[in-house]
Every structure is written in structure tokens, then in C-alpha cells.
Amino acid sequence: MTRSIKWPLLAILALSIGSGCPGDDDDSAPTDDDDSAIANDDDVANDDDVANDDDVANDDDVANDDDATTPAPADYDLATAPEFSDCNASQNQFKLMLGDGSVIGPFSGFSPAPASFANNSGNWTLRMGEGATFNQLQGNRTGYTSSTAIPMQGPAGTEGNVVSNVLVDLGDIGASPTPIGGGYGLPNVNADKRVGGEVTFNVLPEPDATASGTFSAILQHNQQLAAGNVVLLGIRGCFSAPLTATD
């Protein structure tokens, strides 16, 4: 009689052993952390079946998982000042290298006064290009020396300074990404360390003179800078422009 009761008890023990999982164990994997001596250790690594366990690395099967981060904003920072050895020194021309490394142009043309001018207080502006894409050089010539490279720096109205501002029309960027279109310049705050340039005048931008020279620069997209993206633009060109006095 005692033997007939013993066999069902052994069967129950065998079933318990075959299940192999502690009472608090939520996973049957060999490396499961819940079969440790710590009860209910649901906040440790690899505990991927715990709801909202967002402090665990690689916990990608949980809703609202913090590992599924939003990709960082795209940077387009491959631009350098493009080669432009055949720039016609008797004209106003420039080429652009976009932030994806592609080159567009040359662009030609000149906007006379009031877009371009020089005045007796030293301020001057030279606007190049005839279409929607254009480059505007401007500064204050006080202290300039002809045939000497003048580093680009702002603000434009300060004596001795010169800057370049470019607008790239979406219609001219070809297959390049849309964020590359827009306005570029020399940001005063948080500019990329590659931003900068220079202008060399053969003839200084005096009132009623035909200013001439060459320039090159790497500029930064102003709006994309504010959005956290690094989007650069390279420019190189030459100019020969009659600057009308406005005072």
C-alpha cells in the first residue's frame, strides 16, 4: 500500500525537475539572468521580456524602447574651394562645390548699382550672377592693400573686413540633396573650423573704379547650422566690376 502511493509522488517530482525554471524565471534561455539567486531581478541586462525596461541595452523588443534612436541630422561637409583655373579675369565668374562633393557652375554675370556699389565711407558690395544662384562680396576697404590676400571675416561694415554670401537655388543643385540649397556665409557663432576664405584685389573697390581680383572660400549653410547640421559650400571665382559711387 505504501508502494502504490510512492509512485505518483515520484512522477510529480520528475515533472517539476523537467520544467527547470524557478518560480520568478521569465525566460528559459541558458543565459537567463532570472535563474540567479536574486528574486525578481527584472531590471538587469538581457531581461528583454520586461515591460518598459528601457534602461537595458539592446532591449529592442520593448515598446517605446530608447535604443530605437532617431538618426542624427545629415551633414554635408565634403566641400572645398573648387578648381577654377580657366576663370576669365575680365568677367565676373564663380564655381561652387556643394557639401556632397559635386561641383556646379561656372556662374557668370554682374548686378550693377544698387546691388553693386562703392561709396566714399569705404563700404562696397559686388553681386555676381544673373540667375537665382548668386554670390555677393562685400566689406569695408579701409586698410586694404592691392595684390595682397585679405582674409575673409565679418561683420562687413568693419574697417578692413570682407565677406562672401552665397544663395544656391534648388534648381541648380542637380541630384544633390535638398538641404544643400539655401544661404551660405561666414557665421559669427559656432562656425565649422574649415570656414574661411580670402580676396585679392588687383584694383581696389573704389567709387567709380572697376574693381578686379580673385577670391576663394569655404562657407557654411546658416539655416542648417541652426538645425544642428554641418553643411558646407566651397567657392572660387574672379571679378572685374565697375562699382558706381552712391554718395
98 and 165: one domain? yes
- Phi and psi of 101, rounded to 5°? 95, -5
- Phi and psi of 19, rounded to 5°? -70, -35
53 and 104: one domain? no
Q: Mind listing the pLDDT tens digit for each residue in 119-130? A: 999 999 999 999
Q: What's the rounded Cα separation, in Å, for the pair 201 and 196?
A: 17
Q: Is residue 46 part of a domain?
A: yes
Q: Mind listing the pLDDT tens digit for each residue in 71-115? A: 567 899 999 999 999 999 899 999 999 999 999 999 999 999 999
Q: Mind listing the pLDDT tens digit for each residue in 45-82? A: 555 555 554 555 555 555 554 544 555 678 999 999 99
50 and 111: one domain? no
Q: What's the rounded Cα separation, in Å, for the pair 29 and 41?
A: 15
121 and 49: one domain? no
158 and 237: one domain? yes
10 DSSP 8-state letter: H
DSSP 162-184: EEEEEEE-GGGSTTS-GGG-EEE
225-246 exposure pattern, b = at least 16 Cβ within 10 A, e = fewer: beeebbbbbbbbbbbbbebeeb
* Number of domains, the chain: 2
Domain holding 159, by residue range, is 93-243
- Position 39 scores a pLDDT of 55
- What angle (nearest 5°) sits at the alpha carbon of residue 145, between those of residues 141 and 147? 120
pTM score over 0.75: no
- Confidence band for 11, pLDDT divided at 50, 70 and 90: very low
Q: Is residue 79 part of a domain?
A: no
58 and 175: one domain? no
Cell output for 170: 534648388
Q: Is residue 117 part of a domain?
A: yes
Q: Is residue 85 part of a domain?
A: no
6 and 120: one domain? no
Task: Tell me if residue 217 falls in helix, strand or coil.
Answer: strand
162 and 47: one domain? no
Q: Is residue 58 part of a domain?
A: yes
